[in-house]
Each structure stands twice: as C-alpha cells, then as structure tokens.
Structure 1
Amino acid sequence: MKHIVVSWIGKRDLDAVDAEAGDGPVLATLRTVQPNQTYLLYNYSPADVAPYLDWLDHHAPGKLNARHAQLSSPVDYSDIYKAAEALLHEVWTTHPEAKRQILISPGTPAMQAVWILLGKTRYQADFLQASAEQGVQPVDLPFAISAEFLPLGSASDGLRLREMAAAPVPMTADFERIVTGHPNMMKLKQRAAALARFDVPVLVLGETGTGKELFARAIHNISTRSGKPFVALNCGAIPPELIDSTLFGHLKGAFTGAVRDQAGVFEQAQGGTLFLDELGELSASAQVRLLRVLQEGVITAVGDAKERPVDVRLIAATHRDLQQDIADHRFREDLFYRVAVGVLELPPLRERHGDLMPLIEHFLGAIQQTLGIDSELKLSPNARNRLLREAWPGNVRELHATLLRAALWAQDGLLGDADIRDALLGRTEDSAGIMNRSLGAGFDLDALLGHVEKHYLGKALETAGGVKKDAAQLLGLGSHQVLSNRLRSHGLDPGKAPSRSSK
C-alpha cells in the first residue's frame, strides 16, 4: 500500500541544513516512517527554502512534492485553511487508497489547528508529531469532531447572502420546507415566487431527488390558483396503453376494464395546477397529443367524440437534458418551447455547500415526530462526518431515506457511525462518489480509472478463487498474461495459481 506524509515546513526544518542542528521534524519523521511520497507546504520565500529542499531530497526516502503557500500571515486561519484544504483534496483524490499521515509538529499553532480540523473530519488521516526529546510518535487525539465546511468568500459575498436571506419570499408551508441557505437556492426561491405571480407554464430541471415537486407545490400555493386542485403525475410511471386515459380520461366501455367514466388529470386539475413530473419520459405520440391540449385548451376523453375545455396551469419537471433529447429526436422542440417559459434549474445536493447539516437537522426532527420517538434524534460526530463525506447521488430524497433507515435502529436516539454506514445500504464512499468527483485542482483521471481497475481486478480474482485464467475470462481480458501484467501494475499479483485445466 502506498504511504503518504503531509506537512508544513517549519523554522527548525530550515535550520537542519546546518549539520549541528539535527534532522528537523520533517526529515526525522521521513526517516522513521519511510513514506513513498511526501507533500510539503511552506510560506517562506522560495529562495530561502530552495537549499533546504535540495538537502532534503538527498537525505529523505521517497518522492518529494513541495509548494509555496502565499499567506498574508502565518497565523491567518483563512489563508492556512485554503492552502491546507487544497493540498489535502489533491492528495486524497489522487491517492484514494494510500495510507495517509499528517505531521502536525512544524508550523504555527494555527497551522496545527487546521490540520487537526481537516484530518478529523473531511480528510480522515493519522497524525504524527516529532520532537528532539521524544522522537517521532503517532498522535492519538481522544475526541471526535464534526464540521461542515462553507466556501470562503469575500465580505460582499456574505452581504449578498444576508440580503437574499432577508428577501420577501412568501412563507407558505411548502416554501418553508425548502430548507436552504445557499445563495443559488435562495435565488431560485425568489424566482419561483416571482413566477407564481404570472400564469405561465414552468419547467423545473434537476437530478432525481432535488425537490422539483416541492418547488411546484410552493409555486401553486402562492399563485392565484391556490384555492384550486394541485394534481401531480409521474409520466414515467404510466403504461403506454394508458397514457391517453390517464391524461385525458375515458368513458365507460371505451376499452376492456373501463367499467365507469373516469376523469383524467387535466380535468382533475381544472382551474388549478397540473404537475407533470418526468415529462421527458413521454412517448413521441403522447407528446403530440399533449402539445395540442396546451395549444387549444381542450381535451378529448378516450371513447368520446366531444371536446371538453380545460383551464390548468402546467408545471413540468424532468431530470433529462431535453435540449439533447431534441437533438436526438426524442423530444419535440415545439413542446419544449411551449412548457419552458419559466425555467428553474435545481442544483444537486453535492453543490449546495452549507445546506447538508440544516437539512439533516430538519429531517431528524421530522423523522422523530413521524416515528413517535420520545428522545431527540442526534448524530455522533463520526456519523456526521460520514454523512458530510457522501456525494448523495440520490440527493435530498436519498438523504431523507438514509436518515429514516438509521433512525429505526438507533439506541437512545443517538445515530452512530455504524447506523449511518448500514443505512447507506453497503455503498462505499468511493463507489458513491465515482461519478460525482469535483473537477479542478488535484483531479487525476488516470488515478481514478486505476482505482476502478484495481477494484475489479481484486474482485475477479476473489470470485475465481485465485485462478488467473478464470479471472481473465470474468473481466473479458484476452489472456491470463494480460491479467498478470495489470495485477503487477497494481501490486496485486498473488503469484502462480494452479490452473484448473491442468488438473
């Protein structure tokens, strides 16, 4: 397993170039733990550090990666946090399976505090300390902490956020349920409130579980149609043979099983709002009939020759890229422009920095009330950290379902790390976030693909009982020699395994 050490460079390290000053904390640690690679930060001038780095390169094991951090002050927590967090993000993304340790001795107390905060929460790591008197020792920090990290912005950013939070968004029941403090979400709530004043179609875009129906209901509740019905329909759940009946209704005897007249969702929503979720799942023929209803304002029930006028406000939603579907001839362009008058695009939960913990607290309170639990539901620090590290591909809906499952087994109202891990239904952190890694500094596609390959190589070997020929077949590789080469590149080659064909 690859071994990584991360540290600041301190004054005692620079002094170590003088042979009488000893090794310094960094070199002493590297000699002791023998890492494959070391990442170093420093805030001294590059000219002052260059001799030390040359000296260290000749004496330390493994590869060195050192970079300058421009700090306004060595005790400025904001600058230190930005530099440390950027480095740890790069290391943790590039080396997802490495043994990772942070040396906390060099640097100022502010630097040490930031290491501990990051290493105990977002980037879990083992800690080391080094001194001339005690040598190099592991650090056991006998406490657990949890923190959700907000993006650092300017004072004007904070002012804009406070202004958005103070904006006059109507406080209906459903707007209150949209729990957020994120600037983009606050802006979307404002836009939704503005759209509610105009009787125009609305299209809500976003991944599954981002709260599209919640926004639709909030818009209806403050519109002029609030006293009329709100009817929701998932278009993806309608069998093809029942689309017309579901949308427009049918008469008794119109088809086998039609034992009585039945109103469709357009009639059910008369005078109010019709919410068509997953609009992109409608077939091409159904899209044509829906377009006619929106253009003419009339429907024809199955088995009826008479047109009936309808007056509904349409709010549609989809997780699909309708523009791409139009290019692929899967969705009608004229229907798109008919429904996409007011457009709201909801961000996924992983992009709503600062919203996760408020949502968790909100859901825990609601779950406690729903389940009739006497004691207040709380999270242990490690449980909080596990939740904060998740990518949440199922977004808010998945978060709620996970907390509900965990609450069913909680002891005395306390949800521990094991409760959350089990409630995630066995999904690992790496597999959960494999498609949702942040692009930018530190992103390494080769390392990510290598991690995936290593996972399936090991899984195939285990399934095949260590027989390379069978493992190669499971993976669709041409021969066991190809498999052996890939195994060696990942340090997984178990040596020669008996071939079943030779038995």
Structure 2
Amino acid sequence: MNRAKPRVLISWIGRNDLNALDGNGLGPLASTLTAVEFDRVELLYNYPEDEVKPYLVWLAEKVNADFQAHAVSLSSPVNLGEIYQQADSHLARITSSGPELSILLSPGTPAMQAVWILLGKTRYPCQFYQSSLEQGVQKIEIPFELSVEYVPAASGLSATKISQLAEANAPINAAFDNIVTRNPRMQTLKAQAQILAQREVPVLIYGETGTGKELFARAIHNASSRASNPFIALNCGAIPSELVDSVLFGHKKGAFTGAISDKPGVFQQAQGGTLFLDEFGELEPVVQVRLLRVLQEGICTPVGGTKEESVDVRLITATHRNLMEAVSSGAFREDLFYRVAVGVLHLPPLREREGDLSLLADTLLAGLGDQDAALKHKKISPDAKNIILKHPWRGNVRELQSTLLRSALWCQGDTISAEDLRQSLFQMPEKESGITQRDVSQGIDIQQLIGQFAGDYIRRALDCSGQNKTRAAQLLGLKNYQTLNNWMEKYGIS
C-alpha cells in the first residue's frame, strides 16, 4: 500500500509572528498551523536568537506540529540576492525527499514573498497559502505562469545579478545626463540643480518616494568641486533612535555595549565631500538640535568622546514630508529648516511629468538589457505602452522600474504584452486622507477636490436614505432637497 507524500510547509518567521508573544493575536504562522495540518514545518528566520527562541516555545504550546527552525544570515531583509540563495538552498534540501510542498507567503518582507513566488512557480512547484486578519487562512492560486524561457535563466542568475536588477539605485557616477526628461518643468529643475552644484550651499530636495531625489543629489555632487571626495548617503528613517548619534557623529571604543572599536560617523566619512541625508524629516527633535550645532560650527563630538572634531561637508537633504507644516506644528526646528533649505528643489511625481512616461519606460528597459543579456532585446508593445500611460505610478520611477523588470522576466518573447504588464502591476488602495494631504505648493484644483469630497458624502447619504433626497439633505445638514439638487448639479453628481 502506497503511503501518501508527507505534507511540508516552509515559511519565514515574520515580525507579526513574534508580536504574538505580546498578545497581538496568533500571527500568520500560528494561524495557518491551527487551520491546516502539515506533517512537517520548516521555519527560516533572520531575527536575534533571544527573540526567536521564546516564540518557538510559545508556538509549540499553541499548535500540534513538528517544526524545525533554521537561522538564516542576511545582511538585510530586503537583499533579494541573499534571500534567493537561502530560500533556494532550503527548498532544494526539503524537496529532495519528494514531499507535497506548501509555502506560506504572509510572513516576511515583500522581497521574501517575491522570491517565494519566483521559486514556487519555476523550480519547486508547490501550493501557496496566505493568512490575514481580514480573510483568515487561504490556499491561493497565483494567476500566471512564468515563461519556459525564464525558468533556466532564473536558475542561472547569480545572487548579485538578481540584486542589481531589482534595485533602482542612482548610479555612483550619476550626471545630469542620467536624468532623462522631455518635460519643461524637469528641464528647469535640472538647470537649477546644475547652478546649485557650483555653489557651496546646502540643498533641500522635496519629492515623493521614487521621484529621483538621490539621483539629483549624486548629480549635484559629481558636478561640484567636491566630486573627487566621498559621497555618503544615509536614510534617516532607517536608523534606530538609540543609534542616531553614533551613526551621524561616530563613537569611541567602549562608549556603549557593542562598541568594540572607534567608528567614524557619516559626517567624518563624508569629510571634504557631500553628505546626503534622505528622509530628513524623520529626525527626532533632540537630534535636530545636535545636527544644527554641527552645521553652524562645523564640529562634532563622537559618542563617548571628549575631543571635538572638525567636519567639512556639503549637506544635501531630501524628504517627502512638508517641512513647513512640520515647522508650524513644532515637529521640526525652524532654525534647522532655514539652515538646510537654501537651495530648494521640488521634484514632481511621475504622473505630472507630461511627455516623460514613454521615454522613461524605454530608457529603463534598455538599462535592464545592458545589465543582463537575457533582457537585451525586450520591447514594449503599443497596448502595454497605453497601460503605462494610464497608470498613476504612486511609486514613481522606482515603481516603473520594478514593474518593467517583472514584465521583462515574465514575457515569453521579446515583446512585453499588455497582459504581461497587467500581471506585473500592484494596485495600491487610495489613502482615505489623501484628499487633504495634497502638496499645495505644487498647485491643486480646489474645485475638483471639493467636488470629490462632496460627491462621496452625497452618494453615501443617498444610500443611507434609500435615495430620498429630503432625508439625505437632512443627514448632510443642508436646508432642503433643492439645496442638495443644486450641489449635485454644480459638481456633476448623478
């Protein structure tokens, strides 16, 4: 009598799983193991042992499952190359015994989820599960197949190549020629940035995520008199609050637990060159005070040190936040704002760069072909171009780059079709507060916004009243149904 194949589940341990120890629900992993029975569970994790071990004890008490946990070394939880290597290695080990394989997608970073789908749709056929508070535990179907041409390419791609293709970082030698545009507003910004490059003034760059703030910063540095000296980039939003001083100004050996040697901060590393502080608006007020002193006096003191050190850097900052609002509310120091906001560049989102979408798409795809021969002859079909032109691109150039990469990997020939592109797009829900968060400095249509706002509430009031206009007018605080009719006519609400 043939024995059924053992059912094996593999999953990362994610932050929401570890948070279950604090009483925040079961987490996706425990929820899945409670709802679905497996013969064996293989768990991968990149968290410290002192966080994971208590969780594993807790998990063993909650679920009746035979699981094995494996520590995985990653330099970053979003390093696609390292994630691919580790996931591929463990999947090869598990599938060598011929089990019925399942992958839980929910825990882990988006990069981890993307690698699961890549491997599970090519080298290791499997079933996919996901778990959420809203939908519970579900077996899901990924509604596409990766092309047969891609499968051998996927197995032959090195970890470094996967990382290079997936990352849309600004090139180290970025120049203003790398800023591809036909848009008059962007051309003006390029000209202004070239002028700023020749002057030793701080520069503040505004723009949504993915609009090219670092590309502008590197181009300014490379066109300046400091080009032969270091360019150091730092994401202020990614620094743990307890390490901000050490990261910015350095520390001395023994300054705190783990400080086994002297370490320079980014100000010292950028000596003579340019320091680019991205997500600058995320710095806490107490750090803003110390940063202001460094900018005013050109000196800083490493953590645990007693001797002041002189620093000579050109500062370029970037943020997606409205710092004037932050200054007004007291969340950001006014004196620091005026210190960094000497040269100011407002980068428009991609949806406002008329004439640039098609040009950028072709340029980015050609760039992918330059990095990998398998993508060298890929083209975009006219139907796919139409989708590109209509998509809002909330992630801007970065979203466009990653979408084109997925499309190029998945398309079966040399031409990216409309269907290839649709499969590659992420449909992000609108933020409910978005209508009140528009950047007025870039210009808005207030009548259109009022119409959107009014239309939403009028339709909801009509639904609540069973389409009774008199009752709907009362719910909206309007005088009578005639006033409601006037509003509906004014804003074209049916």
Find out whether 1:301 has 2:282 as its counterpart: no
Measure how far apart 1:337 and its partner are.
Answer: 0.9
The equivalent of 1:265 in structure 2 is 266
| CA pair 428-335 structure 1, distance change in 2 beyond 3 A | closer
| CA pair 302-374 structure 1, distance change in 2 beyond 3 A | closer
Q: Deviations over 1:327-366 (max 9, x none)?
A: 0000001001111111111111111100111100110101
Alpha-carbon distance in structure 1 between the residues aligned to 2:262 and 2:449: 60
Find out whether 1:485 has 2:466 as its counterpart: yes
Aligned residue identity for 2:349: P
Find out whether 1:187 has 2:188 as its counterpart: yes
Find out whether 1:422 has 2:403 as its counterpart: no
The equivalent of 1:255 in structure 2 is 256
The equivalent of 1:214 in structure 2 is 215
The equivalent of 2:338 in structure 1 is 337
Query: Is the 8 Å Cα contact of residues 370 and 376 (structure 2) preserved in structure 1?
Result: no
| CA pair 383-442 structure 1, distance change in 2 beyond 3 A | farther
The equivalent of 2:231 in structure 1 is 230
Alpha-carbon distance in structure 2 between the residues aligned to 1:428 and 1:383: 22
Aligned residue identity for 2:325: Q
Task: Report the 3-state secondary structure (helix = DSSP H, G, I; strand = E; otherwise coil) of the residue aligned with 2:377.
Answer: coil
| CA pair 367-257 structure 1, distance change in 2 beyond 3 A | same
Alpha-carbon distance in structure 2 between the residues aligned to 1:406 and 1:174: 28
Query: Is the 8 Å Cα contact of residues 301 and 307 (structure 2) preserved in structure 1?
Result: yes
Aligned residue identity for 1:390: H
Measure how far apart 1:371 and its partner are.
Answer: 3.4
Alpha-carbon distance in structure 2 between the residues aligned to 1:176 and 1:487: 60
Measure how far apart 1:370 and its partner are.
Answer: 2.5
Measure how far apart 1:483 and its partner are.
Answer: 5.2
Alpha-carbon distance in structure 1 between the residues aligned to 2:357 and 2:416: 16
Query: Is the 8 Å Cα contact of residues 249 and 268 (structure 2) preserved in structure 1?
Result: yes
The equivalent of 1:244 in structure 2 is 245
Measure how far apart 1:436 and its partner are.
Answer: 8.2
Measure how far apart 1:485 and its partner are.
Answer: 2.9
Query: Is the 8 Å Cα contact of residues 174 and 218 (structure 2) preserved in structure 1?
Result: no
Query: Is the 8 Å Cα contact of residues 368 and 375 (structure 2) preserved in structure 1?
Result: no
Aligned residue identity for 1:485: G
Measure how far apart 1:451 and its partner are.
Answer: 6.8
Aligned residue identity for 2:347: L
Q: Deviations over 1:474-503 (max 9, x none)?
A: xxx9xxx975837999xxxxxxxxxxxxxx
| CA pair 354-251 structure 1, distance change in 2 beyond 3 A | same
Question: Scaled by the length of structure 2, what TM-score is found?
Answer: 0.55
Alpha-carbon distance in structure 2 between the residues aligned to 1:358 and 1:242: 42
Measure how far apart 1:213 and its partner are.
Answer: 0.7
The equivalent of 1:394 in structure 2 is 395
The equivalent of 2:347 in structure 1 is 346
Query: Is the 8 Å Cα contact of residues 375 and 412 (structure 1) preserved in structure 2?
Result: no
Gaps of 5+ in 1: 1-171, 458-476, 490-503
Find out whether 1:279 has 2:280 as its counterpart: yes
Aligned residue identity for 1:341: V
Q: Deviations over 1:287-320 (max 9, x none)?
A: 0000000011011000101100111110111111
Measure how far apart 1:443 and its partner are.
Answer: 3.9
The equivalent of 2:121 in structure 1 is none
Query: Is the 8 Å Cα contact of residues 390 and 429 (structure 1) preserved in structure 2?
Result: no
Alpha-carbon distance in structure 2 between the residues aligned to 1:392 and 1:414: 22
1:6-405 to 2 correspondence within 5 Å?
173-373=174-374, 375-405=376-406
Q: Deviations over 1:172-193 (max 9, x none)?
A: 7421210011111111111111
Measure how far apart 1:411 and its partner are.
Answer: 1.4
Query: Is the 8 Å Cα contact of residues 391 and 436 (structure 1) preserved in structure 2?
Result: no
Task: Report the 3-state secondary structure (helix = DSSP H, G, I; strand = E; otherwise coil) of the residue aligned with 2:292.
Answer: helix
| CA pair 246-452 structure 1, distance change in 2 beyond 3 A | farther
Alpha-carbon distance in structure 2 between the residues aligned to 1:390 and 1:451: 23
| CA pair 244-425 structure 1, distance change in 2 beyond 3 A | same
| CA pair 179-291 structure 1, distance change in 2 beyond 3 A | same
Measure how far apart 1:218 and its partner are.
Answer: 0.4
Question: Scaled by the length of structure 1, what TM-score is found?
Answer: 0.54
Query: Is the 8 Å Cα contact of residues 213 and 347 (structure 2) preserved in structure 1?
Result: yes
Alpha-carbon distance in structure 1 between the residues aligned to 2:431 and 2:249: 46
Alpha-carbon distance in structure 2 between the residues aligned to 1:428 and 1:411: 30
Task: Report the 3-state secondary structure (helix = DSSP H, G, I; strand = E; otherwise coil) of the residue aligned with 1:343.
Answer: strand
Alpha-carbon distance in structure 1 between the residues aligned to 2:417 and 2:453: 30
| CA pair 227-375 structure 1, distance change in 2 beyond 3 A | closer
Alpha-carbon distance in structure 1 between the residues aligned to 2:191 and 2:285: 34
Query: Is the 8 Å Cα contact of residues 207 and 319 (structure 1) preserved in structure 2?
Result: yes
Alpha-carbon distance in structure 1 between the residues aligned to 2:336 and 2:198: 23
| CA pair 428-386 structure 1, distance change in 2 beyond 3 A | farther
Alpha-carbon distance in structure 1 between the residues aligned to 2:321 and 2:444: 22
Alpha-carbon distance in structure 1 between the residues aligned to 2:279 and 2:431: 29
Task: Report the 3-state secondary structure (helix = DSSP H, G, I; strand = E; otherwise coil) of the residue aligned with 1:176.
Answer: helix
Alpha-carbon distance in structure 2 between the residues aligned to 1:229 and 1:430: 39
Alpha-carbon distance in structure 2 between the residues aligned to 1:404 and 1:233: 26
Query: Is the 8 Å Cα contact of residues 196 and 220 (structure 1) preserved in structure 2?
Result: yes
Measure how far apart 1:420 and its partner are.
Answer: 1.4
Alpha-carbon distance in structure 1 between the residues aligned to 2:210 and 2:180: 14
Q: Percent identity?
A: 54
| CA pair 298-389 structure 1, distance change in 2 beyond 3 A | same
Measure how far apart 1:441 and its partner are.
Answer: 11
Measure how far apart 1:244 and its partner are.
Answer: 0.2
Measure how far apart 1:253 and its partner are.
Answer: 1.1
Q: Deviations over 1:126-181 (max 9, x none)?
A: xxxxxxxxxxxxxxxxxxxxxxxxxxxxxxxxxxxxxxxxxxxxxx7421210011
Give the aligned length.
294
